[in-house]
């Protein structure tokens, strides 16, 4: 059965838990996506932008020194080489093309690390649309270079000062903007989260990662990989690379941020340590107290610092289709340094979580083919990392 069902549910997860004002807009979006998702002109235009503008296909790089170190055949799917430096652009091009067809002139987005904000500001510039990006105040500080990029691209960056001042609150504020300006505004959600049809639509736009990987690994290894590893915040890069390999023999591993450690409660790992709840329009695993109040997440990586996760990941967890693990801030930092020195690739702190898991995977993956989704590059994180590691510039 193809999920979600007609009401946007993945089993009990997903759905549309939103104010009534948005129900009509979600129905319009769903109708437009249904129509253009299969429309040849739309797909051709999307493919052209992905190829000529975003730089797809991205390479599947055989990481020789990493492989030697770990005793497995390790490939990196180089989403960090996409235009704007992360996989996020795959989705923003798709949604902006939809917005154009729906005659929406104003774009809004939420952003954590700023990668999705930059990717949204980029397409808004490309298509000549007005753009407003909501970003938690704390994130505007720790990801300052991305704030500057968004401004240069012509977007207005609105610092959000409510709640934990991070991604969760930015998303609340974006939804409130949408409720208010629903007539002319298209909300580009950056992950496989939010109300239906976003989780399915964003997944479909990100699936290009997995489709390419499938072809590329066939060419290089003549078979599917034994393992695919990807980090999971909201979970869009993970679902994008996992999806074409669901129900194959490939073992899919999603890596959540354990922050200071799962046992400390300071983490961003709802699949490992959360409960079922409703946040940002869908039912999924969330980090919350016994009364359903959403708790602050913690991760060194702003893009993973989110107390929720895309509803389809919750479904995968329940069905045992994907294995979910968690690595700490420290492990991610070590992997960040290690990859820089071993392969000459400075990855995003988000993606460093996936790299970090190789330490634990390697002992059981000797000689196996492992693909890691390197979802983004690390320029934005240099200051954060330098502060912690005490590296002088």
Partner 1 sequence: MSRIEHKFKELKARDKKALIPYITGGYPTLDACEKLIELFAANGADIVEIGIPYSDPLADGPTIQRASEAVLSSGVDVEDIFKMVANLRKKTDIPLVFMTYYNVIYCYGEKKFAEKAISIGIDGVIVPDLPPEEAASWCKVATVNSLDTIFLVAPTSDDERIEKIVSASSGFIYCVSLTGVTGARDNLPMELSSFMRRVRSQTDKPLAVGFGISSTEVAKKVSKLADGIIIGSALIDLIEDSGIEYDKIGKFIRDIKKTIGG
Residue (130 or 330) nearer to partner 1, CB: 130
Closest to partner 1 by CB, 130 vs 221, is 130
What strands lie across the sheet with 130-136, from one edge to the other?
A: 156-160, 130-136, 106-111, 185-187
Is 68 or 275 the residue whose CB approaches partner 1 more closely? 275
**Which region among 9-17, 118-126, 209-217, 251-259 touches partner 1 (by CB under 8 A)?**
9-17
- Classify strands 60-62 and 73-78 as parallel, antiparallel or unpaired: antiparallel
Expressed in angstroms, the distance from the first to the final Cα of the chain is: 54
Q: Does 292 bind partner 1 (CB under 8 A)?
A: yes
Instruction: Based on the residue annotation, tell me whether 375 is a catalytic residue of this protein.
Output: yes
Smaller CB distance to partner 1: residue 55 or 163? Answer: 163
- Indicate which residue of 16, 73, 77, 88 is catalytic: 88
Minimum CB separation from partner 1 for residue 158, in Å? 14
In the complex with partner 1, which residue's Cβ is closer, 158 or 208?
158
Kindly state whether residue 20 participates in binding partner 1, applying the rule CB under 8 A.
yes
Q: Compute the least distance from the CB of residue 257 to partner 1, in Å.
A: 20
* Binding segment toward partner 1, per CB under 8 A, in 110-118, 169-177, 319-327, 367-375: 169-177
Closest CA to 301 of 237, 257, 357, 346: 257
Distance in Å, CB of 178 to partner 1, minimum = 10
| 78, 203, 267, 280: residue in contact with partner 1 (rule CB under 8 A) | 280
Alpha helices in 130-197 (DSSP H): 137-142, 144-152, 167-180
Choose one: 112-120, 217-225, 283-291, 353-361; the region binding partner 1 (CB under 8 A).
Answer: 283-291
Q: Strands of 9-10's sheet, edge to edge?
A: 9-10, 13-14, 282-286, 275-279
The reply to whether 281 sits near partner 1 by the rule CB under 8 A is yes
Q: How far apart are CA 46 and CA 219, in angstroms?
A: 25
Torsion sign (Cα): 121, 124, 130, 134: negative
Write the CB contacts of 29 (distance below 8 Å, at least 6 apart in sequence): 98, 102, 197, 201
Q: Could you tell me the smallest distance in angstroms from the CB atom of residue 318 to partner 1?
A: 17
Closer by beta carbon to partner 1, 29 or else 72: 29
DSSP alpha helix (H) spans, 10-159? 20-37, 40-48, 64-70, 88-101, 115-127, 137-142, 144-152
229 binds partner 1 (CB under 8 A): no
Cα 212 to Cα 221: distance, rounded to the nearest angstrom: 14
Query: Taking CB under 8 A as the rule, does residue 19 contact partner 1?
Result: yes
Q: Rounded CA gap, 124 and 111, in Å?
A: 15
Which residues are the active-site residues?
A: 88, 110, 375
Chain residues that interact with partner 1, rule: CB under 8 A: 7, 15-25, 162-163, 168, 172, 175-176, 179-183, 275-281, 283, 286, 288, 290-295
């Amino acid at each position: 059965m193809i999920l979600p069902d007609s009401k946007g549910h993945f089993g009990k997860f997903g759905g549309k838990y939103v104010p009534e004002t948005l129900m009509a807009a979600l129905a319009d979006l769903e109708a437009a996506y249904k129509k253009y998702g299969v429309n040849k002109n739309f797909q051709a235009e999307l493919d052209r932008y992905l190829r000529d503008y975003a730089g797809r296909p991205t390479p599947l790089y055989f990481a020789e020194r990493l492989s030697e170190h770990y005793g497995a055949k390790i490939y990196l799917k180089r989403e960090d080489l996409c235009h704007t430096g992360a996989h996020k652009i795959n989705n923003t091009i798709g949604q902006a093309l939809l917005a154009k067809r729906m005659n929406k002139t104003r774009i809004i987005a939420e952003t954590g690390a700023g990668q999705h904000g930059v990717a949204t500001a980029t397409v808004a510039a490309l298509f000549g649309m007005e753009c407003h990006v909501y970003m938690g105040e704390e994130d505007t500080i720790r990801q300052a270079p991305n704030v500057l990029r968004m401004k240069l691209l012509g977007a207005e960056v609105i610092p959000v000062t409510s709640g934990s001042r991070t991604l969760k609150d930015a998303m609340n504020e974006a939804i409130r903007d949408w409720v208010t300006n629903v007539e002319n505004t298209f909300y580009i959600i950056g992950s496989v989260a939010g109300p239906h049809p976003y989780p399915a639509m964003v997944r479909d736009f990100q699936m290009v990662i997995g489709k390419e990987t499938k072809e590329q690994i066939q060419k290089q290894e003549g078979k599917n990989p034994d393992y695919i590893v990807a980090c999971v915040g909201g979970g869009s890069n993970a679902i994008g690379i996992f999806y074409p390999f669901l129900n194959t023999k490939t073992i899919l591993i999603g890596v959540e941020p354990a922050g200071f450690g799962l046992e400390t409660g300071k983490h961003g790992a709802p699949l490992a340590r959360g409960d079922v709840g409703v946040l940002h329009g869908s039912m999924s695993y969330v980090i919350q107290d016994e009364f359903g109040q959403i708790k602050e997440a913690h991760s060194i990586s702003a893009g993973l610092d989110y107390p929720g996760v895309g509803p389809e990941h919750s479904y995968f967890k329940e069905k045992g289709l994907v294995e979910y693990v968690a690595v700490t801030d420290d492990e991610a930092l070590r992997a960040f340094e290690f990859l820089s020195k071993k392969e000459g690739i400075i990855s995003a702190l988000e993606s460093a979580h996936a790299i970090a898991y190789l330490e634990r995977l390697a002992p059981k993956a000797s000689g196996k083919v492992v693909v890691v989704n390197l979802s983004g590059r690390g320029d934005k994180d240099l200051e954060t990392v330098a502060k912690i590691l005490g590296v002088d510039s």
